[in-house]
Structure 1
Amino acid sequence: MKTRKKWLLGALSLTLLTALVGCSGGNGKAGESAAPSPSGSESAPSSQAASEEPKPEPITFTYFNATANKDTDTNKTEIGKILEEQTGVNFRIEYLVGDLNTKIGTMIASDIYPDIMQPDAGIDKILEAGAFIPLNDLIEQYGPNIKRVYEPYFNLMKADDGNIYFLPFSAIVGEYTPNASIDQGAFWIQNRVLKEAGYPKVKTFDEYFKLIEDYIANHKDEKLTGFMSLTHDWRFFATTNPPNHLQGYPNDGEVQVDMNTMDAKIYATNDGTKRWLQKLNELNGKGLYDKSSFVDNYDQYMAKITSGRVLGYFDYGWQVNQAHQTLKAETVKNGGNDDLEYFPLPIVYDASIKDQYIDPSSFINNRGIGITKSAKDAVRIIKFFDNLLTDENQKLVQWGIQGKTYEVNDQGRLYRTQEQIDQLKDNDYKRQVGLGHFEYYWPMYGQGSKFPDGNVVTAGRQPEVAQASYTQAEKDRLAKYGVQTYAELFSGPDDRPWYPAWSIALEQGSPAQIYTAKKVDVQRKYFAKIVLASPDKFESNWNEFLNEYAKLPVAEYEKTMSDEIKEKVAKIKGN
């Protein structure tokens, strides 16, 4: 089997993706030609319910999900039981324990796989091994809802041989709706800092750090840390990405993309990064920066957030959510004083810059779920996937069960009561219902999708749900800024059809891929040296960094990314 191996450029991680030239044709049972369906050959213009065929015999398939959770059978959950009643299908889900590469390697060596897989970062190896079967014919014959949801993205989903091998989790259906709360990037600041300053409007880089410096000056004996950074392992992007956002760009990874020409340029060495590092160096010189930022691991970093002693940091909401929830639980326990919790701000260098922290609508095609060549009955599986992609079942797997995990008001708006919100904080309860297993890692309407009735598909993005999850202190604070949700503090995202650039695959061994492999080492070495040195050494250290960085194939990388971005946009437009 001939393959063309690529490496993914990731702001979140550097993940392999292989676009392989594989076996052609669709499969019913793996390796056998599927018989045409008498009624499933036309695509559906809207959500279709399961076929009115006689109920098939019950069957259990195996599903390996390369993330952490508790193993289960889907029919042991309330949602899974409902889906089994519709289709006769149950899945025995095995989650990852131990090392992913070892697990994937064992499967490949034996050439025996579960029926379906979500291999996460191991997807390159699974594709290279030819473990996933092509889905094209199965979708055409049995997947009207799959076509409705994914067809706009088919050109992006196809491997070099024209086959589709897995279904990603990010296909937007209907109007795109950003998260009402901040799960993406922000400069976070402790509530008590804003309170003492009288809740000022904070927009610029200098305003943000002046607030922190002023607060520490007024509380010299409290042994506070002004600012810290996360640099551990693959999470180093939390320290390299801020200058990109400060210049008014979203998280496209290593590049800033011109909206008109779609040319990509790195920002690692531009004036924005210099200004960012110079501020950290200045803070360090004043004793306001946590020097341990360059040696702490992720757990230590999270512990410092929950300690209440750090006034500010930049990070992505999804990455610090556990620490934020711990702080919120402590707030409730202690009677509602939330001074030590954090407030997200869309900080930019200058007031004239439009912030772009909130992700625009995107399609990330380097992760997904596929049917393996070991599958007992690929047709039953694809029919289950198709049935999952009705509006009714997407409400089921994303919102849960009406009257139990959500309600509907007289206007048809979906919402959750405070009791339901509190119950769903219990992961065991969520798993029992099935939300802990079904709300992601299956064929799905991507997060930010909207139903035809106007409700948001992802419950947490529904404004009513977000607002109900806020404490009274949060609501009062937001009201001081004239908003009801945190997202209203941020500018709406501009349309970027290529987004995110970090998901673009780079051919292994190419100059562009070599750049991505080597640049992190240079940044790790010099960022620490630049930030922690005395301020009088800043310029010489910065110039040393530039000289070392210039040895990397930057021009080749920028050209490759520009070409790939333009090609991706052309595919989206059907060219």
Structure 2
Amino acid sequence: MKKRFLGILLTMVMILSLLSGCNKGNKDTNEEAKPAASDASTVTGESTDQPAETSADTGSKKFDDVKLKMLVCWNGGFKTAADQYNNEVATAIRDKIGVTVEYEGIMMSETEKLNLMFASGDMPDIINAPYWGGDAGETAVIKKAATEGRLLPIEDLIGKYPNLANAYDIGIVSQSYLENDLDFEGFGGHRYILPQETPGDDADVTNWTYGVFVRGDVPKTLGIDPTTIKTADQLYDFMEKAKEYGFKDANGNDCIVATTYHNGWDSTGYSINYSQKQFTDYVKQADGTYTYKYLTDDWITRELFIWKLVNKGLMDVECFKQTDAQADEKVGNGTALFASAQFGSVINSTKLTGLYSSNPDMRYIPVGPMTYKDGSPLVQLEQNGRNGSPAIIFPTSCSNIDAALTYLDYVNSEEGARLCQYGIEGDTYTMNDKGQPRLNADILERKKAGDATVDEELRQKGITYILGRTLQADKRFTWWGEINPGDADAAVPEQVAYKKARPVERVNGYPLTGLVIKYENYDVVKKFAFEGTTRDDYTQRAYFAGTEEEARAILKDYQNYLLTQENGIFKDYLKFVNECAKSRDDILD
């Protein structure tokens, strides 16, 4: 009897195996065909023929040379090593876990690329993309893809990977981001989004160093202390004096006064003095009620200041349509006397051209920092835990979800992250007496001297670019005492000082943006108020208006546009905003 039962059991196993083999490779994205999240083997494609082994010394899985593709969905491309398979870091990762990921960037709108990709079904194994939450365009596309069955759920898998398992902890992400976006109600209890670049601890919150920066020789020549510039009026006077002097760039050419980086990023830095200190786009008024920022007089005042800069020949008229490469050239040659963006971008531009080393007097330095409308100093406001982030998603085309998650788990371990950030010990770094990795002395000296070629050489070894798009909860400062290789020993002193002058300030509370999306006709409001280029179209027309009165009228027309679309639904929406504001005692505006 036992033999008969065993024979029947073996026969059943063989039948099930045959059925499973027939089913393998099914890419149908219908809900019925989509595999359960907990069964990793059903979503790993052909690589399941070669199961992963477990390394006895590390406990990590070892695959048999699995190759995966990741799309880096950020407009502007993505610099990698020329050989993504054989560089030192990729080889070391493969030797450890048997997985290689090759990266491809884009040169188009992130939202457009996501739409095209999901519509065509031509998808990679892994996607890295913006997931800012709320009404952001990329977020809407990704949510739609998930609800239509084009993404793999990971909630039953993620706990198996210790360096990814805390991705959804409060403090790593905010309560509102978790509730409204990562656990979006339309996901039906599944999790599809792995948030990235979140803070591992307070010390690991990235200070983006936004601000306005001026070529160093300008204030010295004019006898102006740039740290005393606190208001928009003072900044305007400073710019006028710089224009009147007639400065030349590093090549002896005429200068422009002020510029930005791609598509006007970040022209708001010039006018920020007219703003209140706030976290969201909803402004608390004197009577205690809330309104939308773009309906306020302060917004009109800010935009009229930019109009004034354009009208008086102080603002680069090309900046609202230019690329980062064009900005790199203008800033890198010292052609722009002022630039508004992140300090790191400005410094990098001067290193790309060699200006940082060849003309140290022209190195850009901070203006101010300026103040808010009430006179309080500018800070970088951050919620306790990110309220929107870059993210990794796994389309149904992912050939091996287990290998993908193993790769991400390894590069987010201290060992794997150190490999990606510093390379091979002895070749490019050594450990100091505190057990922290530090770049070799010869490399540090080159970085201190502003030699931009050293970063390219490190990239060709596989250093920095991998971690740049796979980092989950950032623990670099906690682990190593520096965010980027060389920061502790070769950091740009101006940037270090500026981080102290414009520090990060973490705030608690539940932002209104996390509540207002529950408005019953939010999709209607979102379409005309928050999506597309309508506001940019109005503001840029205003910037180039012939008179201030004409510019003001255009901005007023935009406010009227908001209030009159869809039979004036925005007024009802604002009533809902104020109801939301009364619903909690921890509202963050």
- TM-score, length of structure 2 as denominator length: 0.69
Which residue matches 2:166? 148
Is 2:544 the partner of 1:525?
no
Which residue matches 1:455? 481
Counterparts of 1:337-416 in structure 2, within 5 Å, are 337-339=360-362, 341-343=364-366, 345-348=368-371, 352-357=375-380, 359=382, 362-363=385-386, 365=388, 367-416=390-439
Distance (whole Å) between structure 1 residues aligned to residue 157 and residue 325 of structure 2: 44
1:515 deviates by 0.9
Kindly indicate whether the alpha-carbon contact (under 8 Å) linking 2:290 and 2:578 is maintained by their aligned counterparts in 1.
Answer: yes
3-state SS in 2 of match to 1:145: coil
3-state SS in 2 of match to 1:551: helix
Say which one has the larger Rg: 2
Which residue matches 1:227? 258
Distance (whole Å) between structure 2 residues aligned to residue 185 and residue 25 of structure 1: 41
The change in CA–CA distance for 1:515 and 1:376 in structure 2 (over 3 A counts) is closer
Distance (whole Å) between structure 2 residues aligned to residue 128 and residue 73 of structure 1: 36
Kindly indicate whether the alpha-carbon contact (under 8 Å) linking 1:187 and 1:314 is maintained by their aligned counterparts in 2.
Answer: yes
Alignment deviations for residues 50-69 of structure 1 (CA, whole Å, 9 cap, x no partner): 97559745231322323534
Which residue matches 1:444? 472
Structure 1 gaps, min length 5: 1-19, 33-48
Alignment deviations for residues 287-311 of structure 1 (CA, whole Å, 9 cap, x no partner): 4344455565655454433443432
Matched AA of 2:149: G
3-state SS in 2 of match to 1:435: coil
The change in CA–CA distance for 1:215 and 1:550 in structure 2 (over 3 A counts) is same
Alignment RMSD, CA only? 4.7
Matched AA of 1:383: T
- The partner residue of 2:488 within 426, 447, 464 is 464
- Tell me which moved more, 240-249 or 433-442: 240-249
Counterparts of 1:121-136 in structure 2, within 5 Å, are 121=138, 123=142, 126-136=145-155
3-state SS in 1 of match to 2:241: helix
Which residue matches 1:315? 341
Kindly indicate whether the alpha-carbon contact (under 8 Å) linking 2:300 and 2:552 is maintained by their aligned counterparts in 1.
Answer: no
The change in CA–CA distance for 1:381 and 1:430 in structure 2 (over 3 A counts) is same
Counterparts of 1:250-269 in structure 2, within 5 Å, are 252=280, 255-256=281-282, 265-269=291-295
Matched AA of 1:63: K
- TM-score, length of structure 1 as denominator length: 0.71
Distance (whole Å) between structure 2 residues aligned to residue 561 and residue 30 of structure 1: 44
Kindly indicate whether the alpha-carbon contact (under 8 Å) linking 2:382 and 2:505 is maintained by their aligned counterparts in 1.
Answer: yes
3-state SS in 1 of match to 2:257: strand
Kindly indicate whether the alpha-carbon contact (under 8 Å) linking 1:191 and 1:338 is maintained by their aligned counterparts in 2.
Answer: yes
Distance (whole Å) between structure 2 residues aligned to residue 218 and residue 361 of structure 1: 46
Kindly indicate whether the alpha-carbon contact (under 8 Å) linking 2:197 and 2:390 is maintained by their aligned counterparts in 1.
Answer: no
1:116 deviates by 3.1
Which residue matches 1:279? 305
Matched AA of 1:139: I
- The partner residue of 1:138 within 133, 157, 177 is 157
Matched AA of 2:266: A
Alignment deviations for residues 425-467 of structure 1 (CA, whole Å, 9 cap, x no partner): 4455233322244112225223xx45655624x326x8525xx
The change in CA–CA distance for 1:413 and 1:148 in structure 2 (over 3 A counts) is same
3-state SS in 1 of match to 2:366: strand
Matched AA of 1:379: D
Alignment deviations for residues 262-311 of structure 1 (CA, whole Å, 9 cap, x no partner): 98643224233333333344445544344455565655454433443432
Is 2:62 the partner of 1:62?
no
The change in CA–CA distance for 1:337 and 1:514 in structure 2 (over 3 A counts) is same
Kindly indicate whether the alpha-carbon contact (under 8 Å) linking 2:151 and 2:395 is maintained by their aligned counterparts in 1.
Answer: yes
The change in CA–CA distance for 1:319 and 1:515 in structure 2 (over 3 A counts) is farther
Kindly indicate whether the alpha-carbon contact (under 8 Å) linking 2:307 and 2:542 is maintained by their aligned counterparts in 1.
Answer: no
Which residue matches 1:495? 507
1:537 deviates by 5.1
3-state SS in 2 of match to 1:176: helix
Distance (whole Å) between structure 2 residues aligned to residue 186 and residue 285 of structure 1: 22
- The partner residue of 1:433 within 455, 458, 461 is 461
1:493 deviates by 1.9
Count of equivalent residues = 509
The change in CA–CA distance for 1:206 and 1:381 in structure 2 (over 3 A counts) is same
Q: Identify the structure with bigger relative contact order (alpha carbons < 8 Å, sequence gap 6+).
A: 1
- The partner residue of 1:171 within 195, 198, 213 is 198
Distance (whole Å) between structure 2 residues aligned to residue 23 and residue 508 of structure 1: 32
Matched AA of 2:529: Y
- Tell me which moved more, 400-409 or 559-568: 559-568
3-state SS in 2 of match to 1:66: strand
Alignment deviations for residues 158-193 of structure 1 (CA, whole Å, 9 cap, x no partner): 24212111312123212334556xx44212222122
State the identity %: 15
Which residue matches 2:497? 485
